[in-house]
Amino acid sequence: MRKRSLTALISLSLLSACSGRNSASPPEFENVSVHDPSVIRVEDTYYVFGSHLASAKSKDLMKWTQVSSGVTDDNVLIPNVTEELSETLSWAQSDTLWAPDVIQLADGKFYMYYDACRGDSPLSALGIAVADKIEGPYKDQGIILKSGMSGIGDDGEVYDSTEKPNVVDPDVFFDKDGKLWMVYGSYSGGIFILELDPATGFPLKDQGYGKKLLGANHARIEGPYMLYSPETDYYYLFLSYGGLDADGGYNIRVARSKHPAGPFEDSEGKAMIEAQGTAGVLFDDPAYAPYGVKLMGNHEFVNTDEEPAATGAGYISPGHNSAYYDEKSGQYYLIFHTRFPGLGEQHEVRAHQMFMNEAGWPVVAPHRYGGKKIGKYTAKEVSGAYKLVNHGKEISAELVESQIIALNTDGTITGAVTGTWSLSNEHTAKLTIEGTEYSGVFLREWNEATASDVMTFSALSAEGVSVWGSHVSPENK
């Protein structure tokens, strides 16, 4: 793993502010592979369901146990799946299933919104399977949407893939008034939303494909997921831009609205309905990259010479997330799959905490969730040497490596970038970097790459750019 030396700008007195942070017992992690994880909590257990009929469970979002994997007839979720979902697989000309979602309705049963897609075209089908228990077995209730056909579509109009949706990647949710919705879509004609019958889980009549929220002309935008925050009274629409492969530049974005059916805007007030590709151009990323708040993309926290050689210190193509709000604790969590620097297409589930900044936008903790809650910090605890990552707004496969900066005790920032910083209200972070202001939080976290308990910050600009910082740990040699 690459390492970097501390710059001469960081003094020994600053480094001493970072000492003593590895006294906490390390959290225990057990990792699983579930692509496109969609989360549901049942009693005291979190479940994630993903592509290829994979699933896993955890009681703490740290130690995961694989429940299922693979579209085979011995999969515990849908036994005899090739027969049970034969109509769907046949329509989509596929031998696997893509990103599903599971929700519990008033009858106490669990409704799995499954989907299959050919992949090189939007030939897809989306249906519902129901189970009495969260781990199945699920029984098919039928297809509710189809796409990719030649000719007339489900809305009675000629199917045009540049305007109509690819019926995959569903997320089903209740709004604050008890109405049931499904947001869905990937590439093709964009992201759409339908209202569902809360008694049956099926779409209400005469909606066709529903209402478009954003996208068109095969914009590389997919994996929609909706989260309502009672703290801000906004609906947050999470999205993944780019391609999911290790060289695809996958990155997580978010927009918000006061209504689940929109209109949605980003932090600059730009209308997300305008986030579209260019007619006649396939995957014109620069056309829609400016839209949406970018929460994270490819990055690596590069350890210094004073720190141990690191592995797993960053993410490649993180995306297709779900999100969870715990009403009792007030904590937000972002759950997603990610690949890793130098490890190719290998992927695992990760869970990070999220927090709302002063402008009502989520900021994501830089390191995976290790059981800590946000606390009350002092300026002395916060100051010191940091590894800084700026996530930018681009859709790019380039790996952003951290740079060394210092948050000095006099409120200045020096090193690779310059500016000012402040701490208020126990953990609120304000940073001005090269003239741009960022608002977020300070948070003490466990850093696996240095095996130490470190101070971090996560903050967001009005332009929708996220910056992360992770304290240097020079005492760990």
Catalytic residues: 36, 222
- What letters, b where the CB count within 10 A reaches 16 and e where it falls short, cover 179-212? ebbbbbbbbbbbbbbbbbeeeebbbeeeeebbbb
- Rounded to an integer, what distance in angstroms lies between the CA atom of residue 292 and that of residue 256? 9
H or E element, residue 111? strand 110-117
With beta carbons less than 8 A apart as the criterion, state whether 458 and 470 touch: no
Q: Quick check: 351 and 62 in contact, CB under 8 A?
A: yes
CA distance 179 to 382: 43
Question: In a 3-state reduction of DSSP, which class is residue 83?
Answer: helix
CA distance 363 to 360: 9
Q: Which residue has the tokens 């900021």?
A: 363
- Give the phi and the psi of residue 63 in degrees, each rounded to 5: -100, 110
How many CA within 13 A on the CB side of residue 119?
A: 11
Question: Cβ(142)–Cβ(211) under 8 Å?
Answer: no
Q: Which residues contact 156 (CB under 8 A, 6 or more apart)?
A: 208
Q: How far is Cα of residue 115 from the mean position of the Cα atoms in its chain?
A: 20
**CB–CB of 419/413 below 8 Å?**
yes
**CA torsion angle for 445, 309, 244, 465 (degrees, to 10)?**
50
Please give the sequence-ordered ranges of beta strands (E in DSSP) within 11-93, or none if there are none.
38-42, 45-50, 54-58, 65-68
- Distance from C-alpha of 181 to C-alpha of 76, rounded to nearest angstrom: 27
